[in-house]
Amino acid sequence: MKLLDRYIIKQFLLTALFSLVAVTIVFVVIDAMEKLDDFIDKQVTLPIIGQYYLFFIPEIIKLIIPVAMLLASLFVTARMATQNELTAMKSSGISLYRTMIPYLAVALLVSAASIYFNGWVVPYANKQKFAIERTYLRKNVITGSGANVYVQDSPTRILSVGYFDDRRNVATRISIQDFSDTNLTMIVGRIDATSMSWDTTARQWILHKGIRRWFSDGNEQLEEFETQSAGRLHFNADDLRKKQEKPDEMDYYSLQQFIENQQRAGQNVARWLVAFYSKISFPFASVIVVLFGVPFSAMKQRGGVSIQLGISLLICFVYLIVMKVSHVFGYNGDVDPLLTAWAANIAFFAGAIIIMIRVRK
């Protein structure tokens, strides 16, 4: 590695780290001020508040890493341009493309680390944060113990749960309805049970104190039971718990398994697929913003560095907005989820390449 590369990487990393810490502190302070009334009303102690924000910080870092990378590329390149260091490099035969190599090398490493960070560290932290919210702030209570849970177990079977206790893996007020495979408006069977527990040994659901009904040609057959197997259901206790979870609480493998289970049940999983692919595509925003930031900062235009900073920051936020808006089309199933998750990256990467070519000319 050349001395120039080490110099740029050092300046880039230090500036990015400073930007990350500064923006994180600002974000935490603002959020704490907004939630201050809730903490006081619920009489949450300072140690619990400290734990809450300790688990909240990974989510904040995930969101602002691209912003920190953009600011670092802007400030470092702008400072080099102001001090005529870029001019000296060009006079020595070092092109702008060559200057960008250490930036991109760091951005790629950060993106690779972000994939793991976003896929496992952030979901674990979010799960702990939501647990504190449920316990002390009484928010998202349906996530841990869900009320009025509805599951489409298959194209012809719907199950409703009045209450699910994820600590004991026991569901209460159960209703299982089976419909005709030729006429989905015709019910052919129904089971109503007081409770349903998960047998970890047999890996199946057990119904308790219920009634089974069969419907055929206007006739009804009825059978009462104390305990019996629920038959083949395409979900277990973890699936029922995860059904209440948000994608931000699931790691890659958990979300992938959940999607596969929902697909087997015949449900539309477009929204979940977009969330899954986005866990991989979003980390590469760091590379995209660097591709925009360095060329803009290297230009000496009327208006100075402040105009370039404003334009580059605008591009960064437009990128994030386009990414969120494009997800809506994936949620509705209008566009392939994989393409939806990567659409913003592809479009802005193409735009960044065009800008680099124009700057080079």
Give the phi and the psi of residue 162 in degrees, each rounded to 5: -70, -35
C-beta of residue 242 within 8 angstroms of C-beta of residue 262: no
Give CA–CA dist 268/291, Å, rounded. Answer: 36
Q: Can you give the pLDDT of all 361 residues of the chain as single tens digits? A: 588 899 999 999 999 999 899 989 999 999 999 999 989 988 899 999 999 999 999 999 998 998 899 888 888 888 888 888 888 888 888 888 889 999 999 999 999 999 999 999 999 999 889 878 877 876 654 433 444 678 888 889 999 888 787 768 888 889 999 999 888 888 999 999 999 999 988 889 999 999 999 998 778 899 999 999 998 888 888 777 766 677 778 888 888 887 887 787 677 888 889 989 998 899 999 998 898 888 877 765 555 556 666 766 687 778 878 888 888 888 877 788 999 999 989 988 888 888 788 776 5
Q: In what order do the strands lie in the sheet with 204-216?
A: 147-154, 157-165, 170-179, 187-199, 204-216, 219-229
Give every CB contact of residue 346 below 8 A, 6+ residues apart in sequence.
Answer: none
* Contact in structure between 176 and 190 (CB atoms under 8 Å): yes
Within 8 A by CB and 6+ apart from 302, the residues are none
Question: Which pLDDT does position 113 carry in this prediction?
Answer: 95
Query: Are the C-beta atoms of 53 and 28 separated by less than 8 Å?
Result: yes
Q: Taking a C-beta distance cutoff of 8 angstroms, is the pair 143, 131 a contact? A: no
pLDDT recorded at residue 142: 43
What is the model's pLDDT at position 308?
Answer: 60
**3-class secondary structure per residue, 221-288:** EEEEEEEEECCCCCCCHHHHHHCCCCHHHCCHHHHHHHHHHHHHCCCCCHHHHHHHHHHHHHHHHHHH
Per-residue pLDDT, 143: 38
Cβ-based neighbours of 31, under 8 Å, separated by 6 or more: 53, 56
User: How confident is the model at residue 212, as a pLDDT?
Assistant: 93
> 44 in helix, strand or coil?
coil
SS3 169: coil
Say what the pLDDT of residue 144 is: 38
> Judging by DSSP bridges, how do beta strands 170-179 and 187-199 pair with one another?
antiparallel
Distance, in Å, from the CA atom of 287 to the CA atom of 144, rounded to the nearest integer, reads 37
Query: How many other CB atoms sit within 10 Å of the CB of residue 43?
Result: 8
